[in-house]
Amino acid sequence: MTVKWQGPGKMQFSKWQGLGNNYILLHRDQVPFALTPERVRLLCDRNLGIGSDGILVVGPRTGEDRFRLQIFNPDGSEAEMCGNGVRMVARKLKMEGSLHGDVVTLETAAGEIKPTLLDGDLVRVDMGAARFGGEKLAGFDDEAVNASLHAAGRNFTFTFVDVGNPHAVIQSPWPLELVPLHEVGPMIEEHKHFPRKANVEFVRVVDEHTAKVRVWERGVGETRACGTGATATAVALVKTGQCTSPVTVELPGGTLEVEVGDDWRVFMTGPAEEIYHGDLSQEFLRHLE
């Protein structure tokens, strides 16, 4: 149970990364105050805080090998899901002896997600079934597949994919290294078609089983990797007939393997690695007061 912080104490944390996408991991019972947007922004600040692409808050335990998971973006907003983050949480829980087996159920705002620990630092995640429409998409009668989107003065061809959080997967009209992502990313993220905003992926197909992508994450900005973004990319490419499962998705930080079933149920496999762990200083805790 979260309580208001009433003075100096200890607050433990660990920092993890998956393909360069990095997160602060906290246990709910070790956080002595409410994680307001202001506190989240300070913790994630790379100059004044720990620095990260977001915060993962684990707990409480709700059953055997079952935990709640809350995810914060560095702008202070909450995310429904984080593909890279759930791999980190699974490995952390295993490392500290909190799991009986190699499978954990994480209760997220996007529903139950089940990561399975593999050899080494690899984790395979059952991401559930992808959708191509729903309440996170506006302006279309049903699905948006190879649809048109106008932003930043030009038309883009995109496919909408909901894998717990919403994604606009765009066939890049530019070579990936030339995509003006910091210019067009925010405009597409906040487009009227996406009432809850959207992650944005610019994609180039390499071959039947391989694609390259750059990601603009909702509430974050450009990141070196995005697990749900890679998942959505693979789903969109299989849906539009440009790739066949399994799909290797190459991101600036590395590669993720994505399996797409006939029923659009998706499995994503990739690494997660702890960078360091420690305690926040008394001085920094006072800044969070």
Give the list of residues 6+ apart from residue 199 with CB closer than 8 angstroms, or none.
165, 166, 167, 168, 189, 215, 216, 217, 218, 226, 228, 229, 232
Helix, strand, or coil here: 231?
helix
DSSP 206-218: EETTEEEEEEEET
Q: What distance, in Å, lies between the first and last C-alpha atoms of the chain?
A: 18
Residue type, 188: I
Say which of 56, 58, 79, 82 is annotated catalytic: 82
Cross-strand bridge partners of residue 106: 67, 113
DSSP 175-227: -GGG--HHHHHHHHHT-TT-TT--EEEEEEEEETTEEEEEEEETTTEEES--H
Beta strands 111-117 and 265-271, pairing class: unpaired
Identify whether 226 is a catalytic site residue.
yes
Whose CA is closest to 197, among 137, 150, 155? 137
d(CA 103, CA 46): 33
User: How far from chain centre, in Å, is Cα 239?
Assistant: 21
Identify whether 82 is a catalytic site residue.
yes
Say which of 144, 226, 234, 260 is annotated catalytic: 226
d(CA 200, CA 181): 9
Whose CA is closest to 66, among 18, 30, 108? 108
Which active-site residues does the annotation give? Answer: 82, 226
